[in-house]
Amino acid sequence: MLPELGHFALVLAMMLAALQGFFGIAGPALGRERWMAATTSAVAGQFVMVATAVGILVYAFVNFDFSVLYVAENSNSALPLMYRIAALWGAHEGSLLLWIFLLAVWTLAVAIVIRRLPEPFAARVLGVLGVLSFGFLLFTLATSDPFKRLIPAAADGRDLNPLLQDPGLAMHPPVLYTGYVGLAVAFAFACAAMLEGRMDPLWARWTRPWTTAAWAFLTCGITLGSWWSYYTLGWGGYWEWDPVENASFMPWLVATALIHSLAVTEKRGLFKSWTLLLAILGFSLSLLGTFLVRSGVLVSVHSFAADPTRGRFILGFLGLVIGGALTLYAWRAPLLKSNAGFDLLSRESFLLFNNILLVVAAATVLGGTLAPLIGDTMGQTSLSVGAPYFRPTFLLAIVPLLLLLSLGIHANWKRGRLEAAAKPLLVTLVVAVVLGAAAVFGFFGGHHALAITGFGIGGWIILSSLVDPIDRARRHISLSRAVLGMTVAHIGLGVAVIALTGVESYTSERDIALAPGGSAEVGGYDFKLLGTRALEGPNYSATQATVVVSREGRVITTLYPQVRDFWVQQQSRKVAGIYNLHGTDLFIALGDDLGAGRWSLRAQIRPLITLLWLGPLFMALGGALALSDRRYRLARADARAPVPGTAHGEAH
């Protein structure tokens, strides 16, 4: 009975979404105030319905209701509670429901905050979000019903994919989806502005916090995914340029560009049509990612079950939504004029370069990801590209971006005078390069010119970001949260650059075969296999090896890598043994039983890898700080009285 109610709740939610879309868009167009007012009620009702559906599906998982097909396919009586809940997003149907739920949460948040904005604008934003939600609900009900019954009920379930039975992965999809879906808000703001046919600095101020929030979630989600693949897939890799990884990375790059162009639009009223385009692009790429993952067009380790029917539906939806938005753009964007100019070396210029380079980077990733499809279209067979393509092309766009960053944050708005900042810039550059060289020659050894460059760039970003805050602190001038957030995020980027340089230049890796008592040396550390033993978990049996790591005869730690064989799915999953020594990971993964007590093992020494997780965390933290800036709260209070369009052209 309950699952049927869940299904019914989704149907009601879809109808409410349709009303929300209709009232939200038609209301302002026809000037019907009651229609506009009804939008908010539809949002609230829709949220309740979607939440009910999610609650019912979770209830079915927790209580082992194997008469629900999705539950029977993705859980098992031996599955621990935490993973029974995480199983909700363990496969296509449920993760789509999660997507819809998160969209409902974002929409509700927007509806609450946006009440303070002019009513027609607020209604249009909610209307666009309603259209998106309607599309996804229709998709779920038509092709991917999570409440479908299994008659007769299964005695037991087929269990959750073992790869998902891990705390890191249980968290990764919700966080990532929150980011993906959050970009829908910026998209809706852009569409509302185009429907109104005007856009002003105040619009940018309203849009910024939402974009920053979505971006911060996206940053965390991608990092969590990378961390998970690092310690659980057993090869010790953290980024493989896999289509699905790219699908999350492209919206991130565009969202990063959007954050920066919104800053220009807010402060100077420039880049208007460009900002709109980025807002459309960011969400479009996250829709495209959904399409690529769920339609089976591309082969990937993360793919959901391939289904061309679903693919056709998403492609149609994608065409309508993005095509519609871009048509609107072609029609309305020419109306948006900005008449302010700026010098070549002004901050506007640097942010323009930032935007161009980020979009070029996203385009190269998109090109590489779609290469197999483009090859097909041209009649070539399976043209597939990997790291050898992505690395150099991506660096080609990103290295100039990183080099320009330090200059950009010291440039003035409008005026192109860098003289005042020349001295601190030069000093920080020299210090960063010297420190980088010292790290390479004095600590890591080897003579990598690339490593010095990487450390130098990362160090320069960090040091030059600190110049202004330190200067202000010395003169007892307070720092706004927005500037503080920017500084923290840029430092996070510098930290990530240093970490990547270290990990890429100085990782030692070896695949070794050891019998109990045997040992091997990797990167100056001795790995000694003491033995293996059998273990039993709640729904798996495991082989656990005991490996002692020592350096120059001194024992550092004992690691216990495992291979877990899951009973129901007959799949195994590795859990690597990792010890962190001052930011360097000593990593060992257990491979195959080679017979006669011998085992294959993969040992890695990865210096600075801790920073690779900390850097993005700092970036997200910076986003959170910027979000809490006072002026966003003020902006909302401001907006109540006057009509937008009479821009409060003050500069912050």
Partner 1 sequence: MKPRFLIPLGVFAALVVVLIVGLKDSRTVGVLQSPLVGHRIPDWSLPLLNDPNRSLSAQQLRGQWYVLNFWGTWCYACRAEHPVLLAAQRDARVQIIGVDWKDENSDALSWLAQLGNPYAQVVTDKAGDTAINLGVAAAPESFLVNPEGVIVYKEPGVITAQSWKREFLARLPPQSTVPAAAGSGS
Of 209-217, 255-263, 321-329, 451-459, which part binds partner 1 (CB under 8 A)?
Answer: 321-329
Question: Is residue 334 part of the contact set for partner 1 (CB under 8 A)?
Answer: yes
Q: Name residues contacting partner 1, limited to 372-391 (CB under 8 A).
A: 372-374, 376-377
| Cβ closest to partner 1, residue 39 vs residue 300 | 300
| Cβ closest to partner 1, residue 318 vs residue 399 | 318
- Bridge partner list, 595: 598
Q: Name residues contacting partner 1, limited to 341-370 (CB under 8 A).
A: 370
Of 126-134, 203-211, 217-225, 279-287, which part binds partner 1 (CB under 8 A)?
Answer: 279-287
Between CA 33 and CA 11 the distance in angstroms is 27
| Cβ closest to partner 1, residue 212 vs residue 295 | 295
Minimum gap (Å) between residue 123 Cβ and partner 1: 26
Query: For residue 161, what are the contacts with CB-CB under 8 A and spacing of at least 6?
Result: 74, 90, 91, 569, 571
Minimum gap (Å) between residue 284 Cβ and partner 1: 8
Between CA 537 and CA 184 the distance in angstroms is 41
Which residue carries 């289904």 as its tokens?
Answer: 307
Q: What secondary structure does DSSP assign to 169-208, as a single string?
A: HHHHHHHHHHHHHHHHHHHHHHHHHHHHT---HHHHHHHH
| Cβ closest to partner 1, residue 298 vs residue 402 | 298
Minimum gap (Å) between residue 575 Cβ and partner 1: 23
Of 233-241, 312-320, 443-451, 537-545, which part binds partner 1 (CB under 8 A)?
Answer: 312-320
The closest alpha carbon to 265, from 216, 358, 202, belongs to: 202
Characterize 141-173 residue by residue with b for buried, 16 or more Cβ atoms within 10 angstroms of its Cβ, and e for exposed: bebbbbbebbeeeeeebebbbbbbbbebbbbbb
Angle at 234 between CA 233 and CA 239, to 5 degrees: 60
Minimum gap (Å) between residue 282 Cβ and partner 1: 13
Question: Is residue 48 part of the contact set for partner 1 (CB under 8 A)?
Answer: no
- Bridge partner list, 529: 547
Minimum gap (Å) between residue 384 Cβ and partner 1: 11
Question: Is residue 312 part of the contact set for partner 1 (CB under 8 A)?
Answer: yes
Question: Is residue 246 part of the contact set for partner 1 (CB under 8 A)?
Answer: no
Question: Is residue 297 part of the contact set for partner 1 (CB under 8 A)?
Answer: yes
The closest alpha carbon to 618, from 487, 472, 483, belongs to: 487
| Cβ closest to partner 1, residue 299 vs residue 438 | 299
Minimum gap (Å) between residue 558 Cβ and partner 1: 35
Among 298, 359, 605, 639, binds partner 1 (CB under 8 A): 298
Q: How many CB atoms lie within 10 A of CB 366?
A: 18
| Cβ closest to partner 1, residue 339 vs residue 377 | 377
Question: Is residue 308 part of the contact set for partner 1 (CB under 8 A)?
Answer: yes
Q: How many CB atoms lie within 10 A of CB 103?
A: 27
Minimum gap (Å) between residue 297 Cβ and partner 1: 4
Minimum gap (Å) between residue 229 Cβ and partner 1: 19
Among 5, 37, 142, 305, binds partner 1 (CB under 8 A): 305
Q: Are 224 and 173 in contact (CB under 8 A)?
A: no
Minimum gap (Å) between residue 194 Cβ and partner 1: 11
Contacts with partner 1: how many residues (CB under 8 A)?
35
Q: Name residues contacting partner 1, limited to 426-465 (CB under 8 A).
A: none
Among 80, 167, 237, 319, binds partner 1 (CB under 8 A): 319
Q: Are 406 and 462 in contact (CB under 8 A)?
A: no
| Cβ closest to partner 1, residue 90 vs residue 502 | 90
Among 61, 238, 291, 317, binds partner 1 (CB under 8 A): 291
Q: How many CB atoms lie within 10 A of CB 18?
A: 18
Of 50-58, 101-109, 275-283, 352-360, which part binds partner 1 (CB under 8 A)?
Answer: 275-283
Q: C-alpha distances in angstroms, 100 versus 108, 571, 611? A: 12, 30, 34
Among 167, 323, 386, 392, binds partner 1 (CB under 8 A): 323
Between CA 103 and CA 101 the distance in angstroms is 5
| Cβ closest to partner 1, residue 376 vs residue 468 | 376
Q: How many residues does the chain have?
A: 652
Minimum gap (Å) between residue 265 Cβ and partner 1: 17
Between CA 90 and CA 79 the distance in angstroms is 13
Question: Is residue 286 part of the contact set for partner 1 (CB under 8 A)?
Answer: no
Q: C-alpha distances in angstroms, 483 versus 38, 163, 460, 468, 614? A: 39, 40, 18, 10, 20
Question: Is residue 296 part of the contact set for partner 1 (CB under 8 A)?
Answer: yes
Residue type, 139: F
Q: What SS3 state is found at 483?
A: helix
Minimum gap (Å) between residue 290 Cβ and partner 1: 12
Three-class HEC string of 100-124? HHHHHHHHHHHHHHHCCCCHHHHHH
Question: Is residue 280 part of the contact set for partner 1 (CB under 8 A)?
Answer: yes
| Cβ closest to partner 1, residue 197 vs residue 308 | 308
Q: What secondary structure does DSSP assign to 226-276, as a single string?
A: HHHHHHHSSS--S----HHHHHHHHHHHHHHHHHHHHHHHHHHS-SHHHHH
Question: Is residue 333 part of the contact set for partner 1 (CB under 8 A)?
Answer: yes
| Cβ closest to partner 1, residue 356 vs residue 466 | 356
Among 63, 77, 327, 580, binds partner 1 (CB under 8 A): 327
Give contact residues for partner 1 (rule: CB under 8 A): 273, 277, 280-281, 284, 291, 295-299, 303, 305-306, 308, 311-312, 315, 318-319, 322-323, 326-327, 329-331, 333-334, 370, 372-374, 376-377
